[in-house]
Amino acid sequence: MTQGTRSLTRPSYQIEGAVEQDGRAPTIWDTFCNRPGKIADGSSGNTACDSYNRTAEDIALLKSLGATAYRFSLSWTRIVPLGGRNDPVNQPGLDHYVKFVDDLLAAGITPFVTLLHWDVPDELDKRYGGLLDKTEFGLDFDRYARLCFQAMPKVKHWATFNEPWCSAVLGYNVGQFAPGRTSDRTKSSEGDGTTEPWIAAHTLLVAHGRAVRSYRDDFKAAAQGEIGIVLNGDAVFPWDPADPRDVEACERKLEFAISWFADPIYKGDYPESMKRQLGSRLPTFTPEEVALVRGSNDFYGMNHYTANYVRHRLGTADPEDVGGHLDLLSYNKRGFCIGEETQSPWLRPCAAGFRDLMVWISKRYNYPKIYITENGTSIKGENDLPVDKILDDDFRVRYYDDYVRAMATAVSLDGVDVRGYFAWSLMDNFEWAEGYETRFGVCYVDYDNGQKRFAKKSARFLGPLFDKLIRKDGQ
C-alpha cells in the first residue's frame, strides 16, 4: 500500500452540526430524528461534534496524529438547500467546503470526498419520493455533483455514494434509517419493503453512473483525479462447513450485500441469485443504463467491520427478505463464537474474515484498486466508562492491530491491491439510530463540555503500526 497510510474519516451529518447555519436546509435525517422513538437516546445531529465551526481545530488534530489523508462527506443541502437541479446554489455552504479542501491540502492532508452519505435533501423526498424516482433523483444528483467537481478541482479522489445498501435496506425495508419507510405499519405509515429497496438501489446505481460520466467527460482530465463508489459488506463463514447448502448460502449472502451493487458496475447486471429470488421485483437495466453503470469505478471503496456465520433456510423466501434467504449467526454449529461482543449488536471482530473478503472481492472483480474506506469498532459499555478508561481503549487497539495486519497479509500474500486505509472514525459522533450511546472514534468527544476532543490510545497507535507494516513509495 502506497498512500493514505494514516487516514481517518468524517461524515457530514454525523459530525458537522450547525444544521441551520449559513443557509443549510433540512435533510431526510433531520426529519427522521424529529420523529419520536427513532433514535436510541432521542438525539439528532443538530450539534454533533460542531465540526462545521471547528475545521481548523480538526485539521490541527489530524496533523497531531500524523494523518496523511482525510475522508469526509459533503452536505448536499449546504450546497443546494432544496436539492433540485433548478434550485439556487448556496454559495456560503459551497465556499465552506472549498476552503476546507484548501486548508487540508495546505496542512499536507489529502482529501477523499464523498458526495452523499445518506442525507438526501428533505425537499427532494417531499417532491417526488427521493430515491424512489430514478429519473428526477439522477438528474438532481448529477447537477449537484457537477457543482462540486467544478468548485473543488483540487480534490483528486471522489466517491459518489456511501453504502447504498444501507440507504436501500435500512431506509426502505427495515425502516431503521431515514426516510424510515417499511411495510411494518407499527414503524411507518408508508412503505413497501418488498419492492422499494430494489427501486432505491437501482436509482442510486444509475445516479452514480451519471455522476461518473459527468466527471470523466468534463473534469477528470484537468483534475487528474479518480471516482468510485463505497460499498459495505461483512465477511461470511458457513454455519456448518460440511453442508454444501451453508457454503452456497455464504456466496448468496455476499451477492445480496455486495454484488447487488458491484456486479452492475463491474459486470453489467445484477447477480443471478437475486434474479432467481426476486423475479420481477428486481429492476432491469436498460441498454442506456448499462452503458452508464458498467465500468463506472476507478477504484473499489470497501467499508468493512465484522463477520457472520451463515446458515441456509429451507422453503420459499419471504417477500420482505433482503438478505438471500438465510440466517446470520454469531455461533457456528460447533458452538464457536465469531468474535467478542461490542456496543453494536451487529459488530463482532473477526480479522480473518477481513482478509477472506478482500480476496473474494479481488477475485470476483479482477483485482481492482481498493481503498479501505471504513474500518473500526465500538466497545461494549464504552460510553458508561470514566473518561480515563475511555481514552485507554485497548480493545480498539487490538482490533486495529489484528485488522491492519490481516490487510497487510492480503496485500503481500494474496495479491490484493490496497492503495489506502481509513479508520472509522476520527472522533466519536452521532451514530445514526444509535445516537450518541455508541462511540467509534479514535478521539473522545466530550459532548457535555463543548465538544472538546481528546486522543485515545488507538489514535496514537495507528501511525506506528503502518510504519511497521506498509511499504512506502519507492520501496
- Angstrom distance (rounded) from CA 96 to CA 79: 9
- 255 has catalytic annotation: no
Of 417, 467, 473, 464, whose CA–CA distance to 2 is shortest?
Answer: 473
Direct distance between the N- and C-terminal alpha carbons of the chain, in angstroms, rounded to an integer: 10
Q: Which of 16, 123, 163, 382 is catalytic?
A: 163
Of 77, 127, 83, 82, whose CA–CA distance to 97 is shortest?
Answer: 77
Give Cα separations from 93 to 17, 141, 221, 472 (angstroms). 13, 17, 26, 37
- Angstrom distance (rounded) from CA 285 to CA 304: 28
Full strand arrangement of the beta sheet holding 307-312: 235-238, 307-312, 326-329
Using an 8 Å Cβ cutoff, are 229 and 261 in contact? yes
Q: Quick one: CA dihedral 163, 150, 293, 282, positive or negative? A: positive
Q: Is 454 helix (H, G, I), strand (E, B) or coil?
A: strand
Q: Label residue 348 exposed, middle or buried (CB < 10 Å: 0-12, 13-18, 19+).
A: buried
Using an 8 Å Cβ cutoff, are 63 and 459 in contact? no
Using an 8 Å Cβ cutoff, are 417 and 363 in contact? no
CA atoms within 13 A on the CB side of 61: 24
Give Cα separations from 279 to 172, 194, 259, 282, 315 (angstroms). 19, 11, 17, 6, 16
Q: State the residue for C-alpha cell 489514535.
A: 459
Give Cα separations from 305 to 355, 404, 455, 456 (angstroms). 12, 12, 21, 19
The three three-digit cell numbers of residue 303, written as one number:
467499508
Give the DSSP H/E element, type plus range, for residue 302.
Answer: strand 300-303
**Strand 326-329 and strand 307-312: pairing?**
antiparallel
- 434 has catalytic annotation: no
Q: Which of 123, 374, 431, 434 is catalytic?
A: 374
Amino acid symbol at 278: L
- Angstrom distance (rounded) from CA 409 to CA 295: 28
- Angstrom distance (rounded) from CA 401 to CA 469: 10
Q: Which residues are catalytic?
A: 163, 374
